[in-house]
Structure formats: C-alpha cells, structure tokens
Chains A and B, each alone.
Chain A
Amino acid sequence: MSVESESRRASQLQLALGLTAVDIFLAYPEVVSGLLIRGSTGSARECLRHHIEERFTLHRLSTHTTQEQLYGCIDTQQTLATGKIAHQEGLLSRFSKDVLQIDVTRAMPVSLSRHLADAVDKLAPIDRPGLVVFDENAEDVSGVADSSLAERLPIHIFVPGVTLAELAHAESIRDKGGRQQRASALSLDSMRLVKLDDALLSEVVKLCVQLGIVSCRAATHCASIARAHAALRGRSEVSEQDVAIAVQLTLAPRASLLPDTNQTEPAEPIVRENPPDDNTSAQSEHQIKEPQDTQPQDNMPAPSCPDNATDDASPPVNPDQAIDERLIAAAKAVLPSQVLNGLTQRTTQFRRMTNPSSAGRSETFFMGGNRGRATGVRRSRTRGRGEKLDVLETIKCSIPHQRIRRLDKSTQPDAGSSDSGKLQIRSSDIRVTNYRQTARTTTVFVVDASGSTALQRLSEAKGAVELLLGECYVRRDRVALITFRATIATLELPPTRSLTRAKRALNGLPGGGGTPLASGIQMATDMVRQLRQAGEIPVVVFMTDASANIALDGCASRMEAALDAEQQARQLALLGVQTLFIDTSTRPRPQAQKLASAMRANYLPLPRADARLLPSILRASA
C-alpha cells in the first residue's frame, strides 16, 4: 500500500474519531469538561466546531484573558457613569451554559491554563462552561498539550487535513445517526450505571504504563470516556470497542513512549493487518470505500445489527492479537505521523531512563498585561476593564477639570446641587497601573555533533551548557540546545530553566555522521523568531567547524551544503540577534570566518574548548 493512501486512511480515521469525540462531548458535557483539538485550521477543524455549535453557543476566549475577567470585576466606566457600583460578570458564570473556545496560535500563558484548570477542578460542571481549546500546533511546540489545563481536559484529538469530499462523506454518515438524539444531552444516570469490568480496566492501566503516561488522571479519563461511549451506543456494559475508542481519545495523544510491538516499523503511521474482507474493519474504511454498505447508525441497540461492525471508528479487531496489542495498535493509529516519529525518536532516548515521565514542555511565556512589577500609570485602554485602577492618579487627573465640569452642569441634569462638593470623574481621567516584566534571556546553543567534530568537543559543549545553566538558575535565564548531525538538526533541549531536564537531555546525546550545518542554522533562526515573539531576548551560540557537507534537502554535496549554510546564515543575520560563533576546528579556517561574518556573529576560534572557560567567554562577549 502506498504511503499516500496510508496517510489518507490515517486522516480519515482521525476525522471519524474527532466526530465521535464531539458526539461524546455533546451528549455528556458533565463528564467531558472539554476538548483539546490539535492541528492547523482547515475544513476538518471547522466541521468539528460547527458540530459543537449544534448544541452549544461558542464564545471565543482570548489567551490574554485575566483572572478578573474570568471571575468578574468592577466595571469602572459603568460605575462612574451611574454612580452606582456596577459589576462585570465573570466569563465563567456568564457563559456557564455555553462553551468557551480558546484559539491558541502560539502559546497559552501558564496563568490562563492554571485559572481554567482550577475552574475545572473546583466548579461543578453546571457552573462552568465547557472548554474547547484549538491548538494550531499538532506538535507540541506551544506547550498547550502539556499544560495543567490539557491534563484535565479528557479528550485530545488531532484534526487531519482532509478534502472537502471526504469531509462531506464523513458528515453524511454521521447524519444518518440522527442529529436529534445527538444534539441533546442523554441521561447521566444511565451512563453512570454502565459497567466496566476489571479485566478491561487493568488493560487500560497497563497501557498507561506502556505508553509512559504517569498521570493517574489519564486512566480515569479513559475509563469515563469508555463508559460514556458505551452509553452513547446504548450498551449497558463497556466493551473492548468502547475502550479502544477511549484509548484513542485519551491515552494515545498523551503517550510519551511507544511500546515495542514486534510487527511494526517505528515510523509507520498506521498499523493494519486485517484482510479487506474482514467484516470487523474500521468504520472509516467503510465510510470511504463502501458507503452503500454502511448501516444507519442508531443510538438504540438494534438486534439486527451487530454494532461493533459498523458504528465505531475503532481499529480492526484482529483475533490473533492479544487485547493489549490491539489497544496499542489503536493508540498508534490515531497519532499523526510527525508526532509518532517524534515519539519513536524520544523513545530510544528515554528508554534508558528510570522515570519515563512525559517530559514537561509547558515553558512559561509571560506576556505584558496585569502581571509583573508596577511601573507607573497610564491612561486606560479598555476603560478600566480588567485593569488595575490607580485611584489616586485618577483623582489627580480629574482635579484640574473640576471647575469647568461643575459649570457644565447643564449636560448632567441629574447632578443636583448636593453633588457640588463631590469630585466629578470622567472616563478620560481613568489611570491604570502599568506593569512591566523583565524580558528573559534565552541562550540557544547550536552544537555540531557530526563526525567531523570530534566527540570530545560534544562533551565540552555539554559541560558548557550545564555550567551555564547552573548560573542561569540564579539569574533566571534559560538555555536551549540544538544539535545537528547525520542529515538533520534536532532540538535536544527546548528552552528550559530546569537542570534536571537539561541533564537528562544531554546524557543521551548521540554523535557522529554528516554535518547538516544549514539545517542547524535554520532551526536556530526559527527558534530566535519564536523567542522574540514571546518577548524574550535570544542569544545564539554556534559551536562548529563549519565544514558543512549535507545540504538543506538532505543530499550529501559539499558545494550545495556550503551555499545553503551561507544563505541560512544571512537569514539569521537579518534578525539582528546577538550571535557568537565558536570555531571548534583544530586549525581555524577562512570558511568558518566567512560564515560567521555572513551571520554577523562574533567569531571566536577556539581550538581547544574548555567547558569551564565557555561561560566566562560568553559573558565577556555578551
């Protein structure tokens, strides 16, 4: 089977699963506190959104929403205008019957994720809105998937790129199931009575361990989603099918390890072994290939229709496999290939570790707004909503205008003579406190781990990163590490302040192979852009001998590789970022110097790098 059709089938499976997820959410909003929907904008995402709107009104929530806005605050302008205290209702209680939609394009501030996580923890389901987080990044670059909020949202799904025809088809299948029943909540009590036997539960728990999921919440989510799915399908007992779906919705996206299964190649995005005439194959296949064959879906159990044959977007049931293998196959089937590849890469690194936890990626991106240290006042931009009113300054601003405002009484007929002694404050007087947060510095190390750089250099680089980190942790700065070797650059250590993590990443660092310098520079450039966007100050440190021999497209050609590297270096120079180029070759060569000048970096030949020297060099050149 061709790679393309494999990936088509994977995305169709994901779409069918997404629709199932929405069905569960609509039927049991009390159980499903929210959805995390990952993947770029597109028709599939819009389709899911549209389905949610069948039952709930969606309100968009900005990622800059403050705690005051969530829980309510005083409406300053209204208060001034009426002379009576006017409260602005918090968004959580105002929309408690609806659903809040959060679009994350870049990163979600930790504080928002925390506030919403607290709301999920503490407020009863009827007192808070459902949450739907759209994360544009299928890979976890935004940190959303690892946030405290995502931990509490039971269902995580990836939306695939699909054609409109496929979408329309998937929809038409779904419509046969009867929109009426889906669009209204089903009885919670009957769902709670659905049985879940110990054998299945133990499979779920075992799978958690195999997938490297530490959190017990995930398993709990899985159990309740399996139950909800069974209830939705009119079953009184959770079947393996329900568990398979629940695993795909809850556990698979949280996996940090891929278990060994003998029959799979690691990079294979989908595992299917069923013969085409197997009548227990996945629904999505039926949907696409044999639409006429699909029986109408019904929420009531229909005796004529063995429901596990057609109604689920579950993976094939292969009688030769044990149940746990089937569940693992189910989990793998829904992961987008890039996530899967990332996982297999990580797997080799993490298998040695004693504690294969889901490496925390929720790095903090604090942005402007209402936090940080107060630095003076400014005129309010939002007329005092959700901002910290500085009463003294507001009064001071109004004082020069008092006389003229009193004379202007005609405009305010209700302002009687008894008011003459009172200050008259208009919304133009409102001053709010300005906050400033000191920008953080993040040092990005780009280290050559190829064969041409002796392995010993790599250990020097590791030492330098660790030492620098030791200092950073006093100065509150962060460090990131990109290495390039073989054919491509990899982000070994995302920006972090954590010594624990850095050590773990550095320990398993491989070396040897070609020198894809251009790819390394490109990744550094991307990271600098991201850091800038997050309001941080990036500093880039290259450690290489500049003998590039792998071009950007992965082909081994010295000429092209050098050209690509130079071009990428110019791109980096355009950003005007502070860069240090450490030439690690034993004899400094002009080509390294040329590259350094192309990226406008400080060039530093260092035939014998000493790990203990590097931090001081960095400080001096910074």
Chain B
Amino acid sequence: MSNPVFPFSAIIGQEDMKLALQIAAVDSTLGGVLVFGDRGTGKTTAMRGLAALLPEITVVEGCEFSCDPAQEKTLCNACHAARSQGALNVTTKSAPVIDLPLGATEDRVLGALDIEKALSQGIKSFEPGLLAAANRGFLYIDEVNLLEDNIVDILLDVSVSGINVVERDGLSIRHPARFILVGSGNPEEGELRPQLLDRFGLSVDVTTSLSIDERMKIVRLRDDFDRNPASFADHYQEKDSEIRISIVSARTRLDQVDVDDQMLRRMAELCMALGTDGLRGELTLMRACRALAALEGDLCVKESHIGRMASMALSHRLRRDPLDDSGSLARVQRAMDTVGLAA
C-alpha cells in the first residue's frame, strides 16, 4: 500500500510552478520543467498531485514500454511484430510517474540483462529500466543538481532522441522513451550541468515569500490531509477534475492555436536581446506560449502570453558571468523592457 497523494488543487500559492507543470503536461514535447527552490516548498507534492489527476493513457496490452497503439512510428520491436500479425490488444492505465533517485545505477536507469531469466531459464532477455517505465509519463528527479555525471549523460542522450538504445551485456535493444522530465533541486547545494539545464523546457524558481496566513493555510490543509486523506481527497475531487478537463481540452486544441509572424518576431527580438545560445530558446518560448494559449482557451498567441512565459522559458538559458551578480530573472525583465514587452 502506498501513501495517498495530496490533491493538486489543494496546493496553496506557487502559481508559477503549478502553471509550468500544467503547460508541460499539455505539450509533452516542451522538454519538461525544472523547479529550483528550498526544501518543503511543495515541489514534490505538486508533481505527484498533477500526475495523479492526469487522464489515463491508451497502451498496448502487456507492453513493457507502454507503447501507444495509435502511433505506429514509436512502437517498440515487440509491438511492431505483434502488429504485423494482427491487431494489437489495447488497454488503459494511468500515466506513469517514475522517480529517478540519486544513486540509481546505470542498470536501473537504462535497463539490463534480466538476470532472473538468464539464470533460471538460460534466456537472454531485457529487463526494462526506469527510462522504459517512464515512457509517455513523467520522469521525476529530485535533487537533480546532485545527479551523478554518468546518469546525466544517459539523460542527455535519451531526452533528445526519445529512444533508449541499450548496447550492453550482449544485448542490443532500442525502445521508445519519451517522457516529461521534471527536475527539482536547491541551487545552494550545487549547480546543474549547463547541458542538462538547457534540455529543460521551463524553469521555475520557487519563491518562499509566503505570508503567515498562506503558510498557516498550508499547514492546516496538510494536517487535515494527514489525518483523513480519503475525505480530504473527496473534497477536492471536483477541482482536480476541472484541471484535468482543462488540460485534456488544451491538448486537443494545441494544434489549432495560431502563432503569427508578428509574435514570432517579438520572441526572436527578446531572445536576441538576452543573447541566448542557439534557437532552443525561441522554440521553447513558442511552444510554451502556444500551450498557455491552449490552456486558457485562446486560439492565437498574444503578447501577454509571451510576457508571462518569457522568464520561465528563458531564464535558465542565459550565459552566466561568475562576477555578475544580477539574477537571471532581473536580466529577463530588463530585456523585456528593452523590446517593449510587459510581463
């Protein structure tokens, strides 16, 4: 039995973080969310809460990689073979949320030779790892800035290609591994590698400027939840399902949202002013704005969307100068002022 999950809609404050998580859930190609902040500010709670309210996904029955039967291109080898022989059996399950703990071994992450089968039956088979389990769901890394280098390397490879290639123990396997990466950490304890930093679509600094009243409400709600999780969850069920519905409808609306040239130009101007490397900044900003518009029921991206998404999508992509003290948020703000965008 596992501990009950605190409802997402009962989380007080931290609006930026909640919005970023919802946007990442709307557009899974965005590259996930990085949440930086102190302990005990609701990072883990928000992540688990959101995952619990998301709709179920359709999967191929019995597939270890949760293949999507509708997407022929991303099927794993086994599902491909099964498909060529006939129709696939389909079932639904909740979107996986996989924790990647610090100190996880490469074997656990990538998958490895199934020792159980190798020893008992003499069969060479693949035991899927965390990447396989996270396919089409969330991969959550708490304290991502303390992650070992070799695991970071794996993530860098997989997060770009969406395919996990395993060449080890005499195995040669490739399987789909598309997941929404959610990382959290405290910058006081160590920096994140720039390469990995860049892979995250959005980044949010969880501020702790909570008022006494807010803090009291948080403690009170948490206390109520701990004492009676079931009735607490019932109470918030309706609000949670409202959020679910808005995410689901935003997903369907995503393709219809229009980003016109004028808006793209504004985004490019902003990125130029900030001097971000490469084009990932513009791309992410565009996708984030589109997802935000879809989430709010708009059919085209407006300047206000750019203003709200700019710091989330760009603040972690700035070149850093060890001797420059002004925070990245301030720099984004400055750049927005120069190109005439309002936050």
Contacts and interface: CB of A to CB of B under 8 A. Distances in A.
Sort A-B residue pairs by CB-CB distance and give the 3 closest, nearest first: A111-B103, A215-B40, A470-B322
A48 interface: no
11 contacts: A31-B226, A110-B143, A118-B101, A215-B39, A218-B40, A220-B218, A223-B219, A224-B223, A224-B226, A358-B39, A499-B322
A109 B2 CA distance: 25
Contacts of B334: none
A420 to B, nearest CB: 15
A214 B150 CA distance: 32
A230 B323 CA distance: 53
Contact of A498 (B44, B120, B188, B216): B188
A209 B220 CA distance: 16
A130 to B, nearest CB: 15
Nearest to A478: B190
Contact of A388 (B105, B119, B216): B105
A453 to B, nearest CB: 22
Contact of A67 (B104, B143, B218, B323): B104
Contacts of A373: 150
Given A74-B115, A148-B142, A114 B190 contact: no
A118 B170 CA distance: 33
A198 B108 contact: no
A109 B143 CA distance: 13
Given A217-B39, A360-B186, A115 B219 contact: no
Interface in A117-166: 118, 121-124, 126-127, 148, 151
A359 interface: yes
Contacts of A622: none
Contact of A371 (B3, B44, B105, B220): B105
Q: Is the interface of A mostly helix, strand, loop or mixed?
A: helix
Nearest to A192: B227
Nearest to B188: A360
Given A192-B227, A202-B216, A151 B103 contact: no
A89 interface: no
Interface residues of A, number: 79
Contacts of A370: 105
B101 A115 contact: yes
Given A220-B219, A220-B226, A392 B170 contact: yes
Contacts of B41: 214-216
Interface stretch (A3-11, A296-304, A361-369, A567-575): A361-369
Given A114-B102, A215-B39, A500 B219 contact: no
A112 B143 CA distance: 13
A391 B219 contact: no
B228 interface: yes
Contacts of A323: none
A621 to B, nearest CB: 22
A219 interface: yes
Given A67-B104, A357-B188, A391-B169, A214 B227 contact: no
Interface string A438-476: 000000000000000000000000010011011001001
Contact of A148 (B3, B39, B120): B39
Given A124-B3, A219-B215, A79 B186 contact: no
A466 B320 CA distance: 13
Given A67-B103, A111-B102, A388-B107, A360 B3 contact: no
A489 to B, nearest CB: 23
Interface in A205-255: 205-206, 208-209, 214-220, 223-224
A80 interface: yes
B325 interface: yes
